[in-house]
C-alpha cells in the first residue's frame, strides 16, 4: 500500500472514531525504527531489535483499532540522532507528533532542542535518568538551562525514570512549575511497594505534571489484562484525576506481552473503575492538553 493509501485509511479511522458517541483515541507513546543504512543505530546500542517497527506498520495498527493520531517517542536505539523520526514526521506530518532525545550531558543540548523544535517540527523532549549514579546528571548544572529552554519553547518535558528519581523531578518542577512535565510508565512503581508510589503521587501538587498509566504489562506478575496493577492505576486516578492521566501502548516494545489491541483494551475495557468520561480523558483529552492535534 502506498503512502496515499495509508493516509486515506488512517483518515477513515479518524473519522470513524469521531462519529456518534464513540471516544476519540490518541496513542501518546509509540516508537518507530527501521534497519536502514541511512539511519544507523548508535554504536553503543546493545541487542538491537531484529524486526522493523515502521510508521506504515503503526498506521495499519491505528487503522485496525480506531486510533486517530499518535505521539512517537524517539527510540533509544538511535540515541541522540533524531534524523529517522524527523523524516517520519515530515512524511506523515498530519498523523504524528514526535518527542526527541538530546544528550543531557551536552552543554549544547538547549540549542539542539531549539533546532529540533523550530526546524524539524518536534513537540518535546525526553530525558531518561536511570537509578544508578550514572543518572545523577538530572541533579546537575546542565538541567536548569535545558528545562528553561523547554519552557521557553512551550513544549513538554517527558521523563522516563524509576520512582526513586521522582524527588529529583520534583526539585526541577519547583524551579519550573509552569513547564508541562509527563512522567512515563507510572515511573515503573513496583506493584508490591505502594509506599514507593508515594514519591510519584507527591508530584500531584504540580498542576502541569501528567502521568502515563502505561507499562502495566511490564509491572504485572499476571497475564493479560494484568489486573494486579489496577490498584496502582486507581491510586493515581484518585490522586491526579483522569484529566492528568493518559494511557499509551509503548508499541512495539509491549508486543512481547500484549498485542496492540490488548494494550488498548486494558484501559478501554478492563479497567471497570473508569467511567465513560474518564476514558474520554485518558484516551484522548488529556493527551491533547499536552500534545494538541488538529481536529
pLDDT single digits (tens) 44-102: 998 899 999 999 999 999 999 999 999 999 999 999 999 999 999 999 999 999 999 99
Alpha-carbon gap, residue 58 to 260, rounded angstroms: 10
* Integer Cα distance of 3 and 82 in angstroms: 22
- pLDDT, residue 19, reads 35
Strand partners, 181: 157, 209
- Give the chain's residues under pLDDT 50: 1, 5-6, 8, 10-20
- How many C-beta atoms lie closer than 10 Å to residue 196's C-beta? 17
How far is Cα 1 from Cα 11, in angstroms, rounded to an integer? 15
Is the separation of the CB atoms in 270 and 229 below 8 Å? no
The pLDDT value recorded for residue 294 is: 82
SS (H, E, C) the chain: CCHHHHHHHHHHHHHHHCCCCCCCCEEEEECCECCCCCCCCCCCCCCCCCCCECHHHHHHHHHHHCCCEEEEECCHHHCCCCHHHHHHHHHCCCCEEEEEECCCCCCCHHHHHHHHHHCCCCCCEEECCCCCHHHHHHHCCCHHHHHHHHHHHCCCEEECCCHHHHHHHHHHHHHCCCCCEEEHHHHHCCCCCHHHHHHHHHHHHCCCEEEECCCHHHHCCCCCCCHHHHHHHHHHHHHHCHHHEECCCCECHHHHCCCHHHHHHHHHHHCCCCCHHHHHHHHHHHHHHHCCCCC
**Sole residue written with cell 515502521:** 54
Q: pLDDT value at position 3?
A: 54
* β-strand pairing of 209-212 with 96-101: unpaired
Q: What's the CA gap between 22 and 266, in Å, rounded?
A: 17
Residue 280 Cα to chain centre, angstroms: 18
| CATH topology classification for 3-290 | TIM Barrel (3.20.20)
pLDDT of residue 22: 85
Amino acid at each position: 500500500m502506498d503512502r496515499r493509501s495509508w493516509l486515506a485509511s488512517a483518515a477513515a479511522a479518524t473519522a470513524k472514531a469521531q462519529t456518534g458517541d464513540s471516544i476519540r483515541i490518541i496513542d501518546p507513546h509509540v516508537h518507530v525504527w527501521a534497519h536502514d543504512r541511512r539511519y544507523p543505530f548508535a554504536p553503543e546500542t546493545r541487542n538491537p531489535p531484529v524486526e522493523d517497527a515502521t510508521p506504515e506498520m503503526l498506521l495499519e495498527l491505528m487503522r485496525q483499532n480506531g486510533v486517530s493520531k499518535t505521539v512517537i517517542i524517539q527510540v533509544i536505539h538511535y540515541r541522540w540522532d533524531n534524523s529517522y523520526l524527523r523524516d517520519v514526521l515530515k512524511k506523515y506530518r498530519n498523523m504524528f507528533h514526535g518527542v526527541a532525545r538530546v544528550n543531557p550531558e551536552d552543554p549544547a543540548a538547549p540549542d539542539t532542542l531549539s533546532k529540533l523544535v523550530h526546524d524539524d517540527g518536534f513537540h518535546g523532549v525526553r530525558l531518561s535518568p536511570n537509578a544508578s549514579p550514572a543518572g545523577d546528571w538530572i541533579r546537575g548544572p546542565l538541567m536548569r538551562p535545558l528545562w528553561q529552554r523547554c519552557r521557553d519553547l512551550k513544549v513538554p518535558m517527558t521523563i522516563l525514570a524509576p520512582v526513586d528519581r521522582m524527588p529529583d523531578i520534583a526539585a526541577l518542577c519547583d524551579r519550573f512549575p509552569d513547564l508541562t512535565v509527563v512522567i512515563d510508565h507510572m515511573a515503573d512503581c513496583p506493584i508490591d511497594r505502594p509506599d514507593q508510589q508515594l514519591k510519584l503521587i507527591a508530584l500531584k501538587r504540580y498542576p502541569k505534571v501528567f502521568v502515563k498509566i502505561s507499562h502495566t504489562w511490564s509491572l504485572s506478575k499476571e497475564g493479560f489484562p494484568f489486573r494486579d496493577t489496577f490498584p496502582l492505576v486507581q491510586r493515581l486516578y484518585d490522586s491526579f484525576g483522569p484529566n492528568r492521566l493518559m494511557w499509551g501502548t509503548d508499541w512495539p516494545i509491549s508486543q512481547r506481552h500484549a498485542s496492540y489491541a490488548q494494550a488498548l483494551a486494558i484501559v478501554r475495557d478492563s479497567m471497570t473503575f473508569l467511567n465513560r468520561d474518564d476514558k474520554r480523558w485518558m484516551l484522548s483529552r488529556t493527551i491533547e492538553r499536552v500534545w494538541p492535534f488538529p481536529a
